């Protein structure tokens, strides 16, 4: 429903409900129910987006020339202040909101006035218009805005609106849903069939083509839970409002929406819900309340009058009742359902909104207050938003180039992910190992329908149907018919890469192989025969196991081998073996190994039960006299493998190391296809030990297959045979044996990786897993007289310094596999003992420095950075060569000590990095990265900002400039280690003299402009390279003095505020925002350890033979200390500047002066 029409309906219905004293709506939660559900839900997101909404301006309230003045001016301010979107309504035939009959026209105007903010139709009454006209008009706006269109739709409410399409009123809801799909198809470029003037059907394709492949879709919904559910199932977003009730009511409807997304296989948290609220946030509370009282009362009265005659209850209202209800609604809304007053007054309502699982507040601002006050209040609203919201986290770790590895070389496991029975992730699996309890349970309700399942108990995982196709570039329709095995494998792969510190962009294009274990047909078995006998063509690729690996390779753009292994229960370990061999042979630089098995239908279990393989009661007792069959389970797991040497060189996280692996087949030795053979299993294990160059005595644990069936004794006999062949006695207390199948069941294709995950946790954490059941073999045990023992309870791992484990599996058809894994290595010692402290990494300061000879300006900057740049930057570390804002001085913190040797002061180093990231989040907040393509970093240091931004935004290309040859070399090495050399380059050059290469959407520089004496040369260069809609971001110093501060001795040249504003204006640059961080930086620079650190650094410089450069470094560091004192006294300022090319004819200088004086 269109909110611009529906608001009147909302208020009318509330007033009528109050008058009639009706009971609460069906489905509305009581306060107690709301509290209970709220506590049961995960904690709500802390971040709230803020957007600006128009829809209630009275068409006759202002002279025609000024009717849209607020809209235009507020849109420009919203764009500059970083609001998420501007909502534009469709309203018809009433002074209440009648100024907005054509939202596309308004959006076209605003497209030219704004650069970043999204332009949202909020909402189009689609039953009133042709989907062709909607697609055409909004595609034009998408082109004009550079791809910033969102489309909101409603079905309309007012009968009078439907004079435009009276035939559509009765069926408006169905028409809305049909036409949304038509608009989306036309937007995508599809040719749809429509009736022409002669009555015939013709294919129609609309022009122009939009920028976006598909725009975000919003559905206007208020009180009907069915609309929320439908929108959620379709993957659309929601625009809602308080339906004459409370946020408790809205929270219930949002929950319906999230559950509908979950049921449709979408991420429940992925959809966006925006809540419309009347808004006027300003520090002057009395002024706000005086300003809103009369216009808001008029707004409520107009809303009531617009629809009061549409129902018997409304027509029954006399004037006294009408005014009573208007006064009541006005009082209630101003106190409980609007953002009115100072920011501190709004915090409680924001907490309620976040608790209701709302994502965005659509701030309605045109309900009647004076235009100047509304515009004056917008920065305060932005401040409320910034105060509420947290700071986003940064980046993953780098991916080095492919490295061929000699045979038998160890392979590191650098990433892991998984979901297992009773353990939705690896952290939970570690807890489950320590608890040593069974996760076997009855089948989840509804899994197998009403029929009594073949499995009494099983190891089930939750949310097997959950999937969000968005990150994988899949359409919802294709994802819906995919085998859940494939969907879970995609998600597991993504989480595995993330665990390794690698984003999808970091692995794209790399020689990474994919080796999957997969063979379950349970999804196909549960599919009904299509009514027409013709299968869905989309379902074909989603059910073919061979394409599961290929899909992962395609989605993540992986260029290595891509194959599926299916050897029954040994599939997972066979896939590991294939991956290890491929990495060693140089076929791929990394290998993703993954496996999945789900119990989606009951047919497999009935067949296995008929063969006598399954335990009748569903319990698994490995290696036990009372064992009577297997239990079944399901799970998904993924591992990322990489040569150990390459992983160590790159600083990758290492969970464990694969030392060796082997596979073979039992041939005909067992006499049956379905029975394992002890001798052939022993051969396989011996081959794996030989491949690892590890004796049996070097193992402390074996994660056995142990399925609780006839094969258990053959498996134990195989272990004993290997011991007899080698004869060595292991370290006391011997070699522990256990099996996860007692706790989880047999996970089929995923069982080998589940066992390997248990072994990895064991060697990594120093804990021997136990048997959750079984383990009583009696006197006839094949282990008698051997060093093996069944470990019934978890215990600490004691024994040799290097913890190693074997993982064993055999398949129903005779394929055996064994893998040897050991604990991750300790950090390698340095080639030579490091000096007591490493050279510092600092930017140059803008303050006095003592009696240092004054060299040429460029050499001061370049020489200092050459001196402090280390030689070991061939890999990426998040090192920023800048200061950091501290809200308060931190007791015990020393910036020199922390930046000099962060490893020795980890807590302070983390604090420093967090604050540096926080400053960058503020600095880059105005940048619309979705539209940016090229960036330039002036004074790029070690390239950290370029690398992080390029990794976060895969479309970005960048250039860095630095005066220092050492920094240029170090940054280039780090970029190459990250694999970004095709997108990022670093040049040694003079930013004031050497022309920048081309145009850039983003130019930034942190603490660099004050180093450059030729300011006009620098800013002319910037102005010439900044795109017309580009953004300039600078962290710089400004003098609070009358005259410039010229400190050539440390290469710092700082202009007063007025001169700084004139510099920008002289080169056609408008300062959009100026954030003063002076006090925060001063808090950072409080350093009681300065003298001690300088003395230690002098000793270090002498030890390294670098004392020739120390006087300059000492002067620079002392000048930072003096700079901190100058900040505290107000003699200097540290500011974050956001600027852009000035609009022609605009008051650039005056605006710049005002902005700088306000700092």
Three-state SS annotation for 392-408: CCCCCCCCCCCCCCCCC
What is the structure's pLDDT at 143? 92
Pairwise pLDDT comparison (179 vs 801), residue with the higher score: 179
> In the predicted model, what is the mean pLDDT of residues 944-968?
89
pLDDT category, 58, cuts 50, 70, 90?
low
What lies within 8 Å, CB to CB, of 441 at 6+ separation is 457, 458, 459, 460
Most confident of 16-20, 223-227, 290-294: 223-227
What is the structure's pLDDT at 519? 86
Distance CA 591, CA 563 (A): 11
What lies within 8 Å, CB to CB, of 1037 at 6+ separation is 846, 1007, 1010, 1052, 1054, 1123, 1132, 1133, 1134, 1135
What is the structure's pLDDT at 1112? 55
Q: 3-class SS at 161? A: helix
Of the candidates 714, 692, 745, 724, the one whose C-alpha atom is nearest the C-alpha of residue 814 is 714
In the chain, % of residues over pLDDT 90? 38
Distance CA 651, CA 824 (A): 13
Of the candidates 632, 635, 628, 627, the one whose C-alpha atom is nearest the C-alpha of residue 605 is 632
Distance CA 974, CA 697 (A): 43
Distance CA 698, CA 804 (A): 7
What is the structure's pLDDT at 1143? 77
Measured from the Cβ of residue 776, the count of other Cβ atoms closer than 10 Å reads 15
Q: State yes or no: pLDDT of 958 exceeds 90.
A: yes
Q: Which residues pair with 1140 in a beta bridge?
A: 1070
E strands, 221-367, in order: 237-241, 273-281, 338-341, 360-364
Instruction: Spell out the alpha helix ranges (H) of 481-621.
Output: 484-499, 504-507, 522-525, 537-543, 546-556, 571-584, 603-610
Residues 83-100 pLDDT 10s: 999 999 887 766 555 677
Pairwise pLDDT comparison (217 vs 1098), residue with the higher score: 217
Longest Cα–Cα distance in the chain: 103
Answer yes or no: are the C-beta atoms of 468 and 270 closer than 8 Å. Answer: yes
Q: State yes or no: pLDDT of 971 exceeds 80.
A: yes
Most confident of 5-9, 36-40, 1018-1022: 1018-1022
> In the predicted model, what is the mean pLDDT of residues 404-410?
66
Q: State yes or no: pLDDT of 874 exceeds 80.
A: no
Average pLDDT score over the chain? 80
Q: State yes or no: pLDDT of 789 exceeds 50.
A: yes
Answer yes or no: are the C-beta atoms of 781 and 767 closer than 8 Å. Answer: no
Distance CA 568, CA 815 (A): 8
What is the structure's pLDDT at 422? 92
Answer yes or no: are the C-beta atoms of 114 and 182 closer than 8 Å. Answer: no
Residues 195-253 pLDDT 10s: 998 889 999 999 899 989 889 999 999 888 999 999 999 999 999 987 556 788 899 99
> In the predicted model, what is the mean pLDDT of residues 277-305?
79
What is the structure's pLDDT at 400? 34
What is the structure's pLDDT at 871? 42
Q: What is the pTM of this model?
A: 0.44
Measured from the Cβ of residue 859, the count of other Cβ atoms closer than 10 Å reads 13
What lies within 8 Å, CB to CB, of 178 at 6+ separation is none
Lowest pLDDT segment from 345-349, 510-514, 637-641, 779-783? 779-783
What is the structure's pLDDT at 827? 40
Long-range contacts of 462-467 (CB under 8 A, 24+ apart): 462/424, 463/262, 464/488, 464/598, 464/600, 464/634, 465/263, 465/265, 466/262, 466/265, 466/267, 467/265, 467/266, 467/267, 467/491
What is the structure's pLDDT at 1? 35
Polymer length in residues for the chain: 1159
Domains of the chain: 3-388 (3.20.20.30), 411-527+540-822 (3.40.47.10), 857-1158 (3.40.50.150)
pLDDT category, 665, cuts 50, 70, 90?
very high
Distance CA 1121, CA 895 (A): 10
Most confident of 44-48, 116-120, 170-174, 853-857: 116-120
The CA-based dihedral angle spanning residues 285, 288, 290, 292, taken in that order and rounded to the nearest 10 degrees: -140
Distance CA 507, CA 486 (A): 20
Q: State yes or no: pLDDT of 527 exceeds 70.
A: no
Lowest pLDDT segment from 52-66, 487-501, 562-576, 806-820? 52-66
Distance CA 674, CA 671 (A): 9
Of the candidates 264, 215, 205, the one whose C-alpha atom is nearest the C-alpha of residue 235 is 264
Q: Which residues pair with 339 in a beta bridge?
A: 279
> In the predicted model, what is the mean pLDDT of residues 105-123?
91
For 471, which DSSP code?
G
Pairwise pLDDT comparison (331 vs 383), residue with the higher score: 383
Most confident of 505-519, 565-579, 648-662: 565-579
Distance CA 184, CA 531 (A): 27
Q: State yes or no: pLDDT of 907 exceeds 60.
A: yes
Distance CA 184, CA 180 (A): 6
Q: State yes or no: pLDDT of 689 exceeds 90.
A: yes
Answer yes or no: are the C-beta atoms of 220 and 122 closer than 8 Å. Answer: yes
Q: State yes or no: pLDDT of 365 exceeds 70.
A: yes
Distance CA 637, CA 423 (A): 12
For 626, which DSSP code?
T
Q: State yes or no: pLDDT of 766 exceeds 80.
A: yes
Q: 3-class SS at 797? A: coil
Q: State yes or no: pLDDT of 1049 exceeds 70.
A: no
Answer yes or no: are the C-beta atoms of 564 and 545 closer than 8 Å. Answer: yes
What is the structure's pLDDT at 302? 62
pLDDT category, 62, cuts 50, 70, 90?
very low
pLDDT category, 109, cuts 50, 70, 90?
very high
pLDDT category, 828, cuts 50, 70, 90?
very low
pLDDT category, 728, cuts 50, 70, 90?
low
pLDDT category, 1001, cuts 50, 70, 90?
very high
Residues 1120-1130 pLDDT 10s: 777 787 888 77
Q: State yes or no: pLDDT of 905 exceeds 50.
A: yes
pLDDT category, 465, cuts 50, 70, 90?
confident
Residue with tokens 């559905």: 219
Distance CA 700, CA 679 (A): 22
Give the distance from CA 750 to its chain's centroid. Answer: 27
> In the predicted model, what is the mean pLDDT of residues 1087-1109?
66
What is the structure's pLDDT at 1119? 66
Residues 768-785 pLDDT 10s: 999 988 878 876 788 888
Produce one character per residue of 669-686: b if its CB has 16 or more CB atoms within 10 Å, e if not: ebeeeeebbbebbbbbbb
Lowest pLDDT segment from 219-223, 329-333, 626-630? 329-333
Residue with tokens 């904690």: 43
How buried is 43 (Cβ within 10 angstroms: 0-12 exposed, 13-18 middle, 19+ buried)? Answer: exposed
In the chain, % of residues over pLDDT 70? 79
Distance CA 775, CA 794 (A): 13
Residue with tokens 């698994």: 620
Residue 1074 dihedral angles phi and psi, to the nearest 5°: -140, 115
Pairwise pLDDT comparison (889 vs 807), residue with the higher score: 807
Q: How far is CA 703 from CA 391, 752, 1047, in A?
A: 43, 10, 68
What is the structure's pLDDT at 711? 87
Residues 1130-1149 pLDDT 10s: 788 999 999 999 876 666 78
Task: Read off the tokens for 664.
Answer: 């073979």
Between vectors from CA 226 to CA 224 and to CA 230, what angle results, nearest 5°? 130
The CA-based dihedral angle spanning residues 606, 608, 612, 613, taken in that order and rounded to the nearest 10 degrees: -140
Task: Read off the tokens for 930.
Answer: 């979705």
Q: Pairing relation of β-strands 1052-1054 and 1045-1047?
A: antiparallel
Residues 809-818 pLDDT 10s: 999 889 999 9
């Amino acid at each position: 429903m269109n909110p611009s029409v529906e608001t009147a309906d909302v208020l009318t219905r509330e007033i009528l409900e109050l008058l009639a004293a009706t009971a609460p709506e069906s489905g509305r939660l009581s306060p107690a129910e709301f509290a209970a559900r709220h506590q049961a839900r995960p904690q709500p997101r802390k971040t709230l987006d803020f957007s600006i909404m128009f829809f209630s301006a009275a068409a006759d309230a202002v002279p025609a020339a000024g009717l849209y003045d607020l809209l235009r001016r507020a849109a420009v301010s919203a764009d500059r202040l970083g609001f998420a979107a501007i909502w534009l309504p469709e309203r018809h035939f009433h002074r209440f909101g009648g100024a907005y009959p054509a939202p596309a026209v308004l959006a076209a105007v605003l497209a030219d006035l704004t650069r970043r903010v999204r332009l949202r139709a909020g909402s189009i009454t689609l039953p009133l218009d042709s989907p062709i006209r909607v697609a055409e008009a909004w595609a034009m706006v998408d082109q004009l805005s550079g791809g910033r269109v969102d489309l909101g739709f409603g079905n309309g409410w007012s009968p009078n609106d439907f004079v435009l399409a009276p035939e559509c009123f009765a069926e408006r809801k169905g028409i809305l849903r049909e036409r949304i799909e038509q608009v989306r198809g036309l937007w995508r470029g599809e040719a749809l069939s429509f009736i022409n003037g002669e009555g015939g059907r013709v294919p129609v394709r609309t022009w122009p083509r939009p920028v976006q492949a598909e725009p975000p879709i919003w559905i206007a919904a208020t009180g009907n839970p069915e609309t929320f559910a439908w929108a959620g199932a379709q993957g659309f977003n929601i625009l809602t409002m308080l339906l004459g009730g409370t946020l408790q009511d809205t929270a219930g409807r949002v929950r319906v929406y999230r559950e509908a997304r979950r049921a449709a296989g979408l991420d429940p948290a992925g959809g966006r819900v925006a809540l419309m609220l009347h808004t006027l946030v300003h520090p002057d509370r009395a002024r706000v309340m005086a300003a809103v009282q009369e216009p808001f009362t008029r707004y409520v009265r107009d809303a009531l009058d617009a629809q009061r005659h549409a129902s018997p209850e409304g027509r029954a209202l006399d004037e006294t009742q009408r005014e009573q209800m208007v006064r009541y609604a006005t009082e209630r809304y101003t106190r409980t359902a609007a953002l009115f007053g100072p920011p501190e007054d709004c915090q409680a309502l924001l907490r309620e909104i976040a608790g209701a699982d709302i994502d965005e507040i659509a701030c309605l601002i045109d309900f009647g207050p004076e235009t100047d006050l509304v515009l004056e209040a917008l920065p305060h609203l932005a401040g409320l938003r910034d105060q509420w919201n947290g700071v986003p986290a940064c980046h993953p770790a780098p991916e080095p180039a492919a490295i061929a590895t000699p045979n038998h070389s160890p392979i590191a496991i650098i990433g892991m992910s998984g979901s297992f029975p009773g353990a939705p992730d690896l952290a939970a699996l570690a807890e489950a190992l320590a608890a040593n309890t069974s996760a076997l349970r009855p089948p989840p309700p509804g899994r197998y329908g009403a029929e009594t399942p073949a499995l009494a108990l099983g190891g089930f995982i939750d949310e097997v149907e959950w999937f969000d196709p968005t990150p994988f570039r899949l359409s919802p329709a294709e994802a819906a018919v995919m085998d859940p095995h494939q969907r879970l494998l995609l998600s597991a792969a993504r989480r595995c890469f993330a665990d390794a510190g690698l984003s999808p962009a970091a692995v794209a294009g790399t020689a990474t192989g994919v080796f999957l274990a997969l063979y379950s047909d349970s999804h196909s078995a549960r599919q009904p025969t299509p009514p027409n006998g013709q299968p869905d063509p989309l379902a074909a690729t989603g059910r073919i196991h061979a394409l599961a690996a290929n899909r992962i390779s395609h989605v993540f753009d992986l260029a290595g081998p891509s194959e599926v292994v299916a050897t029954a229960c040994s599939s997972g370990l066979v896939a590991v073996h294939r991956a290890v061999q491929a990495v060693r042979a140089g076929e791929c630089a990394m290998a993703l190994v993954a496996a999945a098995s789900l119990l989606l239908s009951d047919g497999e279990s009935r067949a296995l039960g008929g063969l006598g393989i399954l335990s009748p009661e569903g319990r698994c007792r490995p290696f036990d006299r009372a064992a009577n069959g297997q239990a079944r389970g399901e799970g998904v797991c993924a591992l990322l493998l990489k040569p150990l040497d390459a992983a160590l060189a790159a600083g990758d996280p290492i969970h464990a190391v694969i030392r060796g692996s082997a596979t073979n087949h039992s041939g005909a030795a067992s006499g049956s296809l379905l029975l394992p053979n002890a001798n052939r299993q022993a051969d396989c294990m011996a081959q794996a030990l030989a491949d690892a160059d590890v004796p049996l005595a070097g193992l402390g644990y074996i994660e056995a297959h142990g399925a609780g069936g006839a094969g258990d004794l053959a498996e134990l006999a195989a272990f004993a045979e290997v011991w007899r062949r080698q004869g060595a006695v292991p370290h006391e207390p011997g070699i522990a044996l256990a099996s996860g199948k007692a706790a989880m069941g047999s996970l089929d294709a995923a069982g080998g990786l589940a066992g390997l995950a248990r072994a990895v946790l064991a060697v990594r954490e120093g804990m021997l897993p136990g048997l959750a059941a079984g383990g009583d073999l009696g006197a006839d045990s094949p282990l008698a007289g051997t060093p093996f023992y069944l470990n019934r309870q978890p215990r600490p791992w004691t024994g040799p310094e290097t913890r190693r484990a074997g993982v064993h599996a055999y398949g129903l058809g005779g394929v055996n596999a064994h893998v040897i894994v050991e604990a991750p290595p300790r950090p390698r010692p340095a080639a030579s003992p490091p000096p007591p402290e490493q050279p510092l990494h600092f930017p140059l300061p803008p303050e006095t420095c003592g009696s240092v000879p004054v060299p040429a300006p460029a050499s001061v900057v370049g020489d200092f950075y050459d001196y402090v740049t280390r030689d070991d930057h061939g890999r990426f570390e998040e090192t920023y060569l800048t200061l950091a804002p501290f809200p308060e001085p931190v007791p015990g913190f020393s910036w020199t000590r922390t930046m000099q040797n962060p490893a020795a002061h980890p807590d302070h180093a983390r604090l420093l990095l967090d604050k540096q990231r926080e400053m960058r989040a503020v600095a880059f907040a105005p940048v619309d990265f979705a539209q940016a393509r090229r960036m330039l970093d002036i004074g790029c240091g070690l390239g950290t900002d370029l690398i992080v931004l390029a990794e976060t935004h895969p479309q970005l290309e960048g250039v860095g400039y630095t005066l220092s040859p050492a920094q240029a070399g170090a940054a280039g090495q780090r970029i190459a280690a990250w694999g970004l050399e095709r997108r990022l380059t670093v040049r040694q050059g003079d930013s004031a003299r050497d022309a920048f290469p081309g145009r850039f959407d983003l130019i930034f520089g942190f603490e660099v402009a004050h180093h450059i004496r030729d300011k006009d040369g620098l800013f002319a260069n910037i102005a010439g390279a900044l795109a017309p809609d580009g953004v300039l971001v600078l962290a710089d110093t400004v003098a609070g003095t009358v005259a410039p501060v010229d400190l050539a001795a440390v290469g710092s040249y700082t202009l007063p505020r007025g001169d700084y504003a004139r510099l920008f204006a002289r080169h056609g640059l408008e300062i959009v925002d100026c954030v003063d961080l002076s006090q925060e930086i001063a808090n950072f620079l409080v350093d009681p350890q300065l003298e001690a650190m300088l003395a230690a650094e002098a000793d270090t410089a002498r030890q390294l033979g670098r004392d020739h450069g120390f006087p300059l470094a000492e002067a620079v560091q002392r000048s930072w200390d003096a700079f901190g004192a100058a900040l505290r006294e107000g003699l200097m300022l540290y500011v974050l500047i956001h600027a852009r090319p000035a609009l022609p004819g605009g008051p650039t200088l005056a605006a710049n002066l005002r902005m700088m004086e306000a700092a």
